[in-house]
Amino acid sequence: MSVEHLVQRDYDRARRKAFWRQVASRLLRRNNALLRWDEVRERLRAQVQHAGGLREVPIDHIVGSVGRYHDFDRAFLPRRAHTRQRWMSVDRAHYHDVPLPPVELYCLGETYFVKDGNHRVSVARERGQEFIDANVIQVEAPAPISSLEDLEEWIRRQDALEFFERTQLLRHRPEARVELTLPGQHEKLLEHIDVHRWYMGIEQEREIPYPEAVADWYDLVYLPLARIIRTSGILREFPNRTEADLYLWIIEHQWFLRQSSDAGEERPLEEVARGYAAQFSERPVKRLVRAARRRAQRVVADLVDGAAADGDVPQSP
């Protein structure tokens, strides 16, 4: 097999892996995206930096990118077709033993972000390399960060602090408990409040003060769904998640159902919540049952299609 065929095969395989990782991440609600360097640096208020020199860096410690975070997933698999030519040229260089320059990385704690060399990282990881040569720029972290999990937990906490600081929710509703387990989700809550404020202004024909909108959103939007989640017991279907996690997922599911309905039908919120739990429970046994059911349905569909192609399936008149 020629080098060109090998390079094409490698890229196609990497793209297939990226596709199935994306499918799995949606089913399991796991974040499959690279972290954005500018966003992480801003949230952590990390500014001081200095040259860290040339070193070997563990590839699985590279968790983000400066400018290519949309082009690759968390495993640095190529997600977009325009990566093809550059990715294949890097892979081709490996087959021809052409030396490649070190990549350039920002280092935050023990995590790294690609400043230059995303395709080189992607190809190296796909070829099974554990380390890559890198010129490192050291950035001082405000807290010890030894892993991606530490970094995401720090971001989640910062998001929560900023959410409560901006909304002053606890000032107006001291009993409020709005906790999220995933980073980057508090922005969605802020969007919900902004949309609710806009509708309030339309209905009441006046400018709604932000604190009033926050309290009204909590009382009339968030809390009713939170009570349904509590009383129905569906939180048991999502171990290690919170009411706020389910609030966001059920609201998104409600929107999806509304868009899928020809008449834009609005289903009762309790029905939507129970249906969501039944369909997307994170309990391991139920996940296995759903996976087995989907596989059985695919097998039956394939058999029917095959029989139809052979003329063995009766056709409707």
Question: Does residue 85 share a domain with residue 201?
Answer: no
Question: Does residue 155 share a domain with residue 261?
Answer: yes
Question: Does residue 159 share a domain with residue 140?
Answer: no
Average of per-residue pLDDT across 179-188: 87
In whole angstroms, give the CA distance from residue 109 to residue 132: 18
Look at the block and give the residue holding tokens 């046994």: 285
Average of per-residue pLDDT across 181-192: 88
**Percentage with pLDDT > 70 across the chain:** 86
The pLDDT-based confidence of 298 (bands split at 50, 70, 90) is low
Q: How many domains does the chain have?
A: 3
Question: Does residue 52 share a domain with residue 170?
Answer: no
Q: Which CATH number covers residue 142?
A: 3.90.1530.10
Tell me, what's the pLDDT at 266?
A: 77
Q: What is the dihedral of CA 36, 42, 48, 52, to 10 degrees?
A: -10
Question: Does residue 140 share a domain with residue 191?
Answer: no
In whole angstroms, give the CA distance from residue 117 to residue 124: 11
The pLDDT-based confidence of 300 (bands split at 50, 70, 90) is very low
In whole angstroms, give the CA distance from residue 115 to residue 113: 6
Tell me, what's the pLDDT at 145?
A: 80
In whole angstroms, give the CA distance from residue 256 to residue 311: 38
Question: Does residue 294 share a domain with residue 271?
Answer: no
Among residues 146, 164, 195, the one where a domain terminates is 146
3-28 and 84-95 are packed helices; what angle lies between their axes, rounded to 10 degrees?
130
Among residues 146, 165, 199, the one where a domain terminates is 146
**Percentage with pLDDT > 90 across the chain:** 55
Question: Does residue 246 share a domain with residue 112?
Answer: no
Of 37-41, 124-128, 166-170, 271-275, where does mean pLDDT reach its minimum? 37-41
Question: Does residue 98 share a domain with residue 189?
Answer: no
Of 17-26, 148-157, 306-315, where does mean pLDDT reach its minimum? 306-315
pLDDT at residue 48 greater than cutoff 90:
no
Domain ranges, residue 15: 3-146
Question: Does residue 156 share a domain with residue 142?
Answer: no
Question: Does residue 96 share a domain with residue 159?
Answer: no
